[in-house]
Amino acid sequence: MSDRISYALAVVILLAAAVFRLHDLATLPPGLSNDEIDNVRIAETVRDGTIETYYNLRGEGSESLYQILIVAMTTFTSNGLLGYRLPSVFISMITLAVVYVLGKRLLGPLAGLAAMALLAFGLFPSLLARAPLPETMLPLMTAATMLTLAQSLSVYRTRPARPPNSITFAALGVLLGVGFYIHPLHFGIVLMAMLFIGFMVLTRQPISRYTLGFTSFAILVMIIIVMPYLIASIRQPELAGAGRVLARPGDGLFATIFNGVAGLIFRGDGNPVYNLPERPLIDLISGILAALGLAVALRYWKQTRFALMLIAAIILFPLALIAPSSPDFTRFALILPVLALLFGAGVGALSASISRSGRLVLSIALVVLVAFNVVWTWNDLFVRWRALPDVQTAYHARLGSLAWYLDRTAKTTPSIICTPELYPPNDAPQLVDAQILALMMHQEDVSLRYADCGSALVLADGGNRQQIIFLEPDGLARVNPYLTEWVNQGTLQTTNVPPDAVITLDVSQSLADTIGRFTTTATASFAPETGSANTIAETPVRLGGNITFLGYERATSDAYAPGAVVPVYTYWRVDGQVPSDLRFFTHLLSDPAVIAVQADTIGVRADLLKLRDVIVQTTFLQLPHTIPDGDYVLSIGAYERNRGTRLGVFDGDQLRGDRLFVGAIRIAR
């Protein structure tokens, strides 16, 4: 096969592989898995300026170089599901090109094409190319290290036209050094390189002193780069990568190795996050050809090009096969290039052993094999795998679908997110749904409001067109019954969104009618300490802090028994930036100076409210069983939580205290 034909076919395979990796990239996988969320959180920590050798993930270490790469690339592509996945896509495409070049130089054009095709159309390589995980870089590190070893030590099927130079050896040293900051399995890649260099020396291969000197230079570069990593490992041995590589297998050594080998061509990884359960890593025919390539490498082990492949297989395959839960495809990422090279070697050996007419038959058979893998993987990836319930759960598919929907709509339609966790801590071991949604969204400048919907709701922009988003499947059913009266005025969306997830509504006229009704049916009055006792406060009443009281819904009952819960429904309007620590207080008073029951609350994120937003706040007063019978009055107001300062109540421009009286109830046994 001529180089021109080989390059043309390589381009075709790369383009086809790009389709597998870019098609539906924003929606497949349907969201982020827990491991991917951890890596995205590390990337955002790096973006904030905190860079460490190891990050502590629930007691287990994680290297940071891959996450730094994500930060660098998303600076130009933005984040979200698409932005976080693009670096892995680029890495995967580069890996395919490197595997082709390596296979072509070691084994010939046909073997290079076969090796690249095996990785281009496999299910796990395609999934790995969409995953923001450090394992994405393992195939590239393995292939690139083998290529630089072949280039620097002249390991070729044919002798190179020019001798290696210092740049090649420097690249080898850099690759060996920086890999420690990517994944702990890089220990195996370094061991492979050192053993191959030792093989070249001990078997007295034709290596000049010039080459040996540059090899020492490459090792020195690696040592310099790896020194901070070693220091960090000594200081934090519990997080060091060596412990994670040597984790004890869960089923015993022999059972683990057997399961791992079976995972290559028979069983596959049962974890739906990385595989369609029970699908093997490669098909049976490709496995047989890879076994043939291994036999060829063993037969010609004295040739340095086959020795390189054998040493890589001897060192890396045990690291991939011996895992706490075997077969583990995330570990198989380390051996993908070696497996592809063995497959290419088998194809090349078969081609060399048959006649010219037989090669035509072989070529047709290889095309059929590639076509089979294309159809097999396409159906499994884009049809069967994405529909698995376990995949939907593992990737938080509901949140991923809502993130995709909000990226298209939230910039033009005010969106209220219903979530019970309004202020989750950023350093918590597990993120809540609202935080995961934010990680998945591509748009960074959309205006989202947050309400718990169990006690409060935001009617954005005076009740004009908006959408309410329910992150949890039962979120709509858990809305407060009083707030449900507002939600039910909207329309439940059923297209391109999960069930019971999105309601669009426009209640501007209904809200205006409700506020107007309050002026006659639910009057408020100023506090007696202002000298304006029983003076009606005509709503709306302006408070300090850009908040305006619009009115309240009268209690549904005039009498409550001790131990009952008294709901108080109040309406507030935002007239500008409000204090981020805004709280509403509700007091039940036995007389104007004595608080019998109080509740301080707010069911929305005050720091994210916008001009003309209306807050419908439900406050629940739990009456003690020992509360005396009698008549009680209700007072309400607002304050800044951090300073404990109440916001003033204004009558026009005149300050009228810091609370309003909003009706009375009777308590009777």
Query: pLDDT tens for residues 286-329?
Result: 999 999 999 999 999 989 999 999 999 999 999 998 888 888 89
Residue showing tokens 């043939």 = 292
Q: Band the pLDDT of 184: cuts 50, 70, 90.
A: very high
Question: According to the per-residue pLDDT averaged within each range, which of 158-172, 426-440, 621-635 is highest?
Answer: 621-635
Q: Which residues does 624 contact at the CB level (< 8 Å), separation at least 6? A: 562, 563, 597
Residue 151: its pLDDT value, please?
A: 87
CA distance 19 to 66: 24
Rounded average pLDDT over 160-182: 84
- Tell me which of 304-318, 504-518, 528-542 is least confident: 528-542
- The one-character DSSP state at 301 is T
Main-chain phi, psi angles of 587, to 5 degrees: -120, 135
CA dihedral 270, 276, 282, 285 (to 10 degrees): 110
Report the 10 Å Cβ neighbour count for 310. 18
Q: How would you classify residue 217: left for phi > 0, otherwise alpha for psi between -120 and 50, otherwise beta?
A: alpha
Task: Using the predicted structure, report yes or no on whether residue 376 has a pLDDT greater than 90.
Answer: yes
CA distance 430 to 427: 8
Residue 139: its pLDDT value, please?
A: 97
- The one-character DSSP state at 2 is -
Q: Band the pLDDT of 339: cuts 50, 70, 90.
A: very high
- The residue with greater pLDDT, 240 or 546, is 546
Q: Band the pLDDT of 164: cuts 50, 70, 90.
A: low
Topology of domain 512-667, CATH: Immunoglobulin-like (2.60.40)
Nearest to 295 by CA among 261, 334, 248, 343: 343
Please answer whether residues 481 and 631 qualify as being in contact, where contact means their C-beta atoms are separated by less than 8 angstroms: no
Which residues of the chain does CATH 2.60.40.770 include?
512-667
pTM reported for the whole predicted model: 0.89
- Tell me which of 176-190, 194-208, 313-327 is least confident: 194-208
β strands within 3-157, DSSP E: 55-57, 60-62
Mean of the per-residue pLDDT values of the chain: 91
Q: How far, in Å, are 9, 39, 115, 203, 361 from residue 356 at the CA level?
A: 20, 51, 22, 36, 9
Task: Using the predicted structure, report yes or no on whether residue 362 has a pLDDT greater than 60.
Answer: yes
Please answer whether residues 539 and 514 qualify as being in contact, where contact means their C-beta atoms are separated by less than 8 angstroms: no
Rounded average pLDDT over 176-187: 94
Q: Band the pLDDT of 568: cuts 50, 70, 90.
A: very high
Task: Using the predicted structure, report yes or no on whether residue 158 has a pLDDT greater than 60.
Answer: no
The encoded tokens of residue 561 equal 């028994």
Task: Using the predicted structure, report yes or no on whether residue 484 has a pLDDT greater than 60.
Answer: yes
Q: Band the pLDDT of 523: cuts 50, 70, 90.
A: confident
The encoded tokens of residue 625 equal 């069983």
Q: What confidence tens digit (pLDDT) does each residue in 441-466 have?
A: 987 778 899 999 999 999 999 999 99
